[in-house]
Amino acid sequence: MDLRRLLSTPVTVLALAGLLVSGCSSGSSAPGASTSGTRASGSAPSADLAPYYTQKVTWRSCGAPGFECATMKAPLDYQKPKDGDIELAVSRKKATDPGRRIGSLLVNPGGPGGSAIQYLQGYAAIGYPAAVRARYDMVAVDPRGVARSEPVECLTGKQMDAYTEVDQTPDDASETQKLTTSLKGFAQGCEKHSAKILPHVSTVEAARDMDVLRGILGDKKLNYVGASYGTFLGATYAGLFPDRVGRLVLDGAMDPSLSSLEMNRDQTAGFETAFQSFAADCIKHKNCPLGTASTADASHRLEAFFSRLDAKPVPTGQSRPLTESLATTGVISAMYDETSWPDLRTALTQAMSGNGAGLLALSDSYYERSGDGKYANLMYANAAVNCLDLPPAFTAPASVTKALPSFEKASPVFGRGFAWAALNCAYWPVPATGRAHRIEAKGAAPIVVVGTIRDPATPYKWAKSLAAQLSSGTLLTYDGDGHTAYGRGSTCIDTAINTYLLDGTPPKNGKQCS
């Protein structure tokens, strides 16, 4: 269970989830190296890397009509490119008006761990505005370690079921021991099944892979729409290759200058903000399962419900009862998109009456658990990237206990669970190679940073911070609920981003939409 790291676009909440990372990772840079300058930039790749940029890939039809797929190679280790390759899966759908084609537009839905190819084929190449799809080849690459690109593997389905059910709000030493044993078992499973790739799934390496793909596609500049964690991936690219930045949209932005502890605590507060917004809507309905008195009363009722589950899980009609941890994940999953609030009201009503099936379904969707008990590699890749990109928030249970008051202040409902969830990287088998840092990307073309005021997963202040860090950043604000803004119903937001993608004119810095 890894509650606080979910960062993805709302459409992926329905089909896949996404998670959080922060900081820089090693890639071909020394540990802790800044990505604010032009160290990796240049008109041509090094001699060791040139064969990767000039490789020819074979495109074949795949998926729905109009989609093509291919496999590209990249160095497993950019510091030692002659020591072996990694194969990355790529997909595209060509521009529908090739005579007016601008170039390629890479998309990434977030994570780390979200499949960019699944996002492209399931939404972006169909749901993006027709004018954008007309003038861009829509392209996605599953980042290294994710989905079709040599995925990180860790646990069996049954082992993952047990992992997600572990009590993440331990009340005594015995429960704390069970939690730490679970976290250690997860890390050991990843090392057992994916030892070769674990040191090489950093965000810096994924950003370098995107530049190799840019070269393969024949684009002089990278055009990119990244959501949630995808904003950190895009910002990292801009820091490494500022002179190769084309039109970059960073929607639901992260702040790379924050430590893992700071980021986890900020996100805890973000989910509290989102829950208060949900509660304010819920109490307007006479059938609200959290009552109709006030948002404060709604919070108390949810806390009490979680406490009852902690003592006695409720049945779901399956062999897996609804535990406190699974119920919390189910509630969290509905915070990403306000259109899920009616489903959450129904699921809570049922669970409080003794049927936990609805909340379990929300939790399973979040974890990408299929009906046959198998899990996608979302959570495995998520942990692998997160734990490589930043030093752990906590190194032992004692440090979590010390920080609990600040997390509970950030969210009385979710604080304890989020704090203990942040212990996972303490037991990771590969040391972190990145650190928190500012990204300036001096010399880059204008970059549009988008923030949603009541975003649960990427708090609005992160977008403000990233836009201020980037030398060419311009902030676009959505006064609304849910995670990310593009394509979520705001004509103002969509028009501003479409204009930027189609003619290169960014919105005025500070523009606000509703």
Catalytic residues: 228, 455, 483
Q: How many CA atoms lie within 13 A of 209 on its CB side?
A: 30
- 337/485 Cα distance (integer angstroms): 10
- 433/392 Cα distance (integer angstroms): 11
Q: Given 3-state DSSP classes, what are the helix, strand and coil percentages for the chain, each rounded to the nearest 5?
A: 45, 15, 40
**Measured in whole angstroms, how far is the alpha carbon of residue 169 from the centre of its chain?**
24
DSSP per residue, 189-258: HHHHHHTTTGGG--HHHHHHHHHHHHHHHT-SSEEEEEETHHHHHHHHHHHH-GGGEEEEEEES---TTS
CA 418, 188, 147, 83 dihedral sign is: positive
List the beta bridge partners of residue 450: 251, 476
b/e for 218-237, b at 16 or more Cβ within 10 A? ebebbbbbbbbbbbbbbbbb
The encoded tokens of residue 320 equal 């897996």
- 399/23 Cα distance (integer angstroms): 21
DSSP per residue, 319-336: SS-B-HHHHHHHHHHGGG
Cα–Cα–Cα angle for 340, 230, 343, rounded to 5 degrees: 5
Cα–Cα–Cα angle for 500, 90, 101, rounded to 5 degrees: 35
The answer to whether 149 and 87 are in contact (CB under 8 A) is: yes
The answer to whether 175 and 103 are in contact (CB under 8 A) is: no
Largest CA distance in the chain: 68
The answer to whether 297 and 291 are in contact (CB under 8 A) is: yes
Angle between helices 260-282 and 397-410 (to 10 degrees): 40
Reduce the DSSP state of residue 406 to 3 states and report it.
helix
For residue 112, cis peptide bond before it (omega within 30 degrees of 0): yes
